[in-house]
Amino acid sequence: MKRGLLIIISGPSGVGKGTVRKYFETNSALNLAYSTSMTTRSPRNGEIDGKDYFFVSRETFLKAVDNGELLEYAEFVGNYYGTPLKEVNRLRDSGKNVLLEIEVQGAKQVQEKCPDAISIFIIPPSIEELEKRIRGRKSEAEEIVQQRLAKAEKEMKLMNQYKYIVCNDDPKLAANLIETIILRNIEIEQNR
């Protein structure tokens, strides 16, 4: 059996990565598995531990870093986020194409360790639209919203580190583009 692909999806906070993902992750032709990250951030309303994230203490997170349990990790607006390595390997070994939804610093670490990873950056139609979406979420204090917006502008400058750039003007259309990218890469890999 062929080892599954590693697919990195990044994009500024509020761009709608999760919404876009919901439209394509159920497409069985993509044979996807979503890698659940570990984070020290508190759960938002409706988020489920073990599904959206593994919500852990700083101490637990730093222990995982020391033990080499993370494929990559980064600090983002005051919290740590990281990808558990063992689960990614297990899924890829079972033939699944593994999806990482991570920010730019982590993506860079993965690209260095796994140069074959497929990298996709999602951009908003405009910065104004992004601000509207972040505010629309109403889950964060003004200070955090400001930090996330400043971070978004910095992240957007790094989009050329990615192989594919997809604009999320319409989530269904963005999802269709991502499906096409993944399907074509599956085809390329099968013909290798």
Would you tell me which residues interact with ligand 5GP (CB under 6 A)?
Answer: 13, 37, 41, 72-74, 76, 81-83, 101-103, 105-106
Angstrom distance (rounded) from CA 157 to CA 176: 25
User: In whole angstroms, how close is the CB of 152 to ligand 5GP at the nearest point?
Assistant: 9
**Tokens 């989009």 sit at which residue?**
159
User: Which one, 117 or 189, has the nearer CB to ligand 5GP?
Assistant: 117
User: Which one, 133 or 189, has the nearer CB to ligand 5GP?
Assistant: 133
3-class state of residue 33 by DSSP: strand
User: In whole angstroms, how close is the CB of 17 to ligand 5GP at the nearest point?
Assistant: 6
User: Which one, 55 or 189, has the nearer CB to ligand 5GP?
Assistant: 55
Residues 6+ apart with CB under 8 A from 41: 53, 55, 79, 81
User: In whole angstroms, how close is the CB of 116 to ligand 5GP at the nearest point?
Assistant: 19
Angstrom distance (rounded) from CA 134 to CA 140: 9
User: In whole angstroms, how close is the CB of 128 to ligand 5GP at the nearest point?
Assistant: 19
User: Which one, 4 or 82, has the nearer CB to ligand 5GP?
Assistant: 82
Residues 6+ apart with CB under 8 A from 33: 4, 91, 96, 97, 98, 99
User: In whole angstroms, how close is the CB of 173 to ligand 5GP at the nearest point?
Assistant: 21
User: Which one, 96 or 101, has the nearer CB to ligand 5GP?
Assistant: 101
State the CB neighbour count (10 A cutoff) for residue 141.
8
